[in-house]
Amino acid sequence: MTKRARDDSASRTESAPPSAGQCSAQPDASNTAHAGDDAPTTSSTAPSQTCAKPTAQTTQSTQSDDAVPALLAMTRANPPTALWNDSADPDELAAAISWGAVGATANPVIALAAIRARQERWTTRIAQLAEQMPTASESAIGWKVIEEVSIQAAKLLEPAFAAHRGIDGRLSVQTDPRLARDAKALADQAAHFSGLAPNIVVKIPATSVGLVAIEEATYRGVSVNVTVSFTAAQAVAAGEAIERGLKRREAEGFDTANMGPVVTIMVGRLDDWIREVVNRERIALNPGFLEWCGVAVFKNAYRVFQEKGLRARLLSAAFRSILHLTEFVGGKVVVSPPFAWQVMINDNALQLPARIDVPVEPAILGTLLAIPEFRRAYDPQGMVPAEFDTFGATRKTLRQFLDADAQLDALVRDVLIPAP
């Protein structure tokens, strides 16, 4: 059932990981350099329970049959910490729900993977849509398919949506990255996606234009999931934009109690970018320290959110190491590991105690703060919104999302105009 688990990398390459249950305390820096978003890696500085890559298949667990899965135990012991699944694949989402998941995230790359995983079914549906929408563009048909994938997944989350009164139980749908320069178009599309199902949360990028759309969409009653966000400055600016939208809505007498905004920090993609900068600038340091970049930024942003009373929750995404879950347990946050990571965590029966208030070791943080690019990512005032747009991780991620859109167009094209 789970071989459709995919990473969030542009190449989407498969690996042949060791069987579940194999753990290693040895550093493996090669695994961390270019890992995809669901490719578990061994961390040289992670807690001792960090384990090697699992199979993406549902293998026999190392736990006894009546043992509570590790993730379910985590959510029971730490109710403020919500588990979401980083995929809209219905089989994966159903399994994740059984382990305590109460939401799901997706992006253009992940949505494309979900369609390719059931390509025979969706190519048939594309052909049907082409007949029903004879003047529609490739893009319009492709996005109609994404809407249908999302509606299907959202139904699985309806029980959690009711139980959590709208705060959780939501399925993320991302706005078209080709609209990234138009705040009104982003807000309009967000409102449209929000109407697909009662439990949709809409992803809008944390760019200078995106911040305007985030406030406007929130004001319109859209629960927003801020994406393309890597730094404390982006997270705080987005949280404040959401807060402005909520207050405008409340000032006009509209209810906000059942809205569920979140602000994603793509912690692993920040790790990737800082590693790239370090390699490019030939900075010598312990490579294991780089696995703490996203963790340190997330914890710092969490502190500011608590101090400012921002109502949106932070969400950890784009996993590169187990730290991107273990270090945030206990916080009023969302953790969104890809499905393969969830299989690994459960198969290894990991203990997941609360660690959100445990600071990054001073030696590690001090070393990272000596890197100017990390310092401005860590500082909540380290960048102004115009700089969000030119930040390396922002540009790389938007380009990847745009490429996924182009690939979806090509998939539709192959159905509409098959090669001779």
pLDDT, position 207? 98
Helix axes 339-347, 70-77, angle to 10 degrees: 90
Mean pLDDT, range 108-118, rounded to an integer: 85
Mean pLDDT, range 74-95, rounded to an integer: 95
pLDDT, position 23? 35
State yes or no: pLDDT of 15 exceeds 80: no
pLDDT, position 108? 82
Domain ranges for the chain: 40-413
pLDDT, position 28? 33
What are the tens digits of pLDDT across the range 358-394? 999 999 999 999 999 999 999 999 999 999 999 999 9
CA distance 353 to 49: 12
CA distance 155 to 179: 27
The pTM (predicted TM-score) of the whole model is: 0.86
Mean pLDDT, range 317-341, rounded to an integer: 97
pLDDT, position 113? 85
Share of the chain above pLDDT 90, in %: 79
State yes or no: pLDDT of 56 exceeds 70: no
Q: What separation, in Å, do the N-terminal and C-terminal C-alpha atoms of the chain show?
A: 34
Selected from 3.40.1500.10, 2.40.37.10, 3.20.20.70, 3.50.50.60, the CATH number assigned to the domain covering 40-413 reads 3.20.20.70
CA distance 266 to 231: 9
What are the tens digits of pLDDT across the range 179-220? 999 999 999 999 999 999 999 999 999 999 999 999 999 999
State yes or no: pLDDT of 37 exceeds 80: no
Mean pLDDT over all residues of the chain? 87
Give 137's contacts (C-beta < 8 A, 6+ positions apart).
Answer: none
CA distance 281 to 53: 30
Residue 143: which pLDDT band, with cuts at 50, 70 and 90? very high
pLDDT, position 17? 29
CA distance 326 to 53: 16
Ordered DSSP codes for 341-361: HHHHHHHTT------TTSPPP
Residue 65: which pLDDT band, with cuts at 50, 70 and 90? low
DSSP code of 19? P
Tokens 């048939």 label which residue? Answer: 124
Q: Computed from CA positions of residues 14, 15, 16, 17, in that sequence, does the dihedral angle turn out positive or negative?
A: negative
Element (H, E) at 396: helix 392-416
pLDDT, position 32? 33
Tokens 């402005």 label which residue? Answer: 244
State yes or no: pLDDT of 13 exceeds 60: no
Share of the chain above pLDDT 70, in %: 84
Residue 44: which pLDDT band, with cuts at 50, 70 and 90? very low
Q: Which two tokens stand for residue 274?
A: 């800082």
Cβ pair 368, 289 in contact under 8 A:
yes
Give 409's contacts (C-beta < 8 A, 6+ positions apart).
Answer: 138, 139, 142
